[in-house]
Structure 1
Amino acid sequence: MSVTFRALDPLRDAELVHGWVTHPRTTGRWMARDAKLVDVERACMRMAADEHRRGVLGLRDGEPAFLMETFEEAGPGDLGLRFLTPPTRTPGDPSARSVLTAVLAHLFEDPAVGRVVVEADVDTAVLGVCTREQFFATTTGVAA
């Protein structure tokens, strides 16, 4: 499985994101069931224009697989993360851990990032704060 990243393109990606956020199984912060396509385009444009936030589309094997939004946190070295996968994916998909591992490795490539603070919904498996040390220890099998 190959995971790559590209900047969210508000006009090119709005229709895809619109389908994800208006899906009946989408929950939490991303839920926008009544949103029109133009509403999602505007939200994506606001994200793209904000110097403190960054929208990134994640591709798994070249296909759109998730949306992540990173944002500045209050603490030095902290990076906030919001993560959305399409609700049509199979719950408990074993590739989800691989995708998250790729996302965190990508974010920690920036030496200024010491922690990734994940804003998770109740229904997501991604919870808590992932520090560089805890993330690498956990993914290499050093810590549980």
Structure 2
Amino acid sequence: MTATTEHEHADEYEHTVEGLGTVRVERVDPDRDAALIHGWVANERARFWGMRETTVEEVRDVYAHLDSLETHHGFLVRLDGEPVALFQTYEPEADRVSECYAVEPGDIGVHFLVAPSSTPRAGFTMGILEALTEFAMKDRKRAVAEPDAANEKAIALLVRAGFALGPEVVLPEVDLPEVHIPAKKARLAFLTR
């Protein structure tokens, strides 16, 4: 698949992927999107996202906290208007991953969750990921992903998308009043422009 058109605004981005449709990336609105996101992250297939036991209110609180940060951002991804994925970007030097690798200027961290679907489409996930890496790397040199080390599907997808695998690491626990994230064994993966 190849991109045919794209445009962006401050908190929005559109990228048309040939054979797939128009991918739109917009900031998560915690109040509007909490129930939708909760339905995705509470699903068994999203167990590696680490939010299966959360309530809708807790999801809203997590994304409200994320929205308050200048270094971390949550995005809702739509395909031809339909919500299909959750995407997060972050500044690695302001994240726990910075304790696990040498952050370089121009790095951006990424997290990606595809919504559950009852009608799989060939090339769907790769097309969405292609648009999201274009969005994340528009002014960056390298993207870093850190999926759970046991998430073989995510790791294989990143490799197919051109990411080079790095080492397995243990991301340290984050325990703040606003958020708690347990330690996690992860596999680093890098995409260099």
TM over 0.5: yes
Q: Which residue in the other structure is 1:44 paired with?
A: 63
2:110 counterpart residue number: 81
Cα 1:90/1:27, change in 2 over 3 Å: farther
Query: Structure 1 residue 89: deviation in Å?
Result: 5.6
Per the normalisation by structure 1, the TM-score is: 0.82
Is the CA contact (8 Å cut-off) linking 2:114 and 2:125 kept in structure 1? no
Map of 1:116 onto structure 2: 143
Residue 105 of structure 1 and its aligned partner are, at CA, apart by: 1.2
In the aligned structure 2, how far is the partner of 1:47 from the partner of 1:69? Answer: 9
Name structure 2 gaps, 5 residues minimum: 1-20, 93-102, 160-188
SS at match of 1:41: helix
Deviations 1:8-52 (A, max 9, x none): 101101011000010122121x13222111100000101101111
Alignment gaps of 5+ in structure 1: 133-144
Q: Which residue of structure 2 aligns with residue 19 of structure 1?
A: 39
In structure 1, distance between residues paired with 2:141 and 2:60? 32
Out of 158, 161, 179, the residue aligned to residue 126 of structure 1 is: 158
Which one has a larger percent strand, Structure 1 or Structure 2?
Answer: 2
Q: 2:166 aligns to what? A: none
Aligned length: 129
Q: Separation in 1 of the partners of 2:120 and 2:82?
A: 18
- RMSD over aligned Cα atoms: 1.7
| Cα distance change, pair 94–79 in 1 and its aligned pair in 2 (3 A) | same
Q: Distance in 1 between matches of 2:32 and 2:126?
A: 27
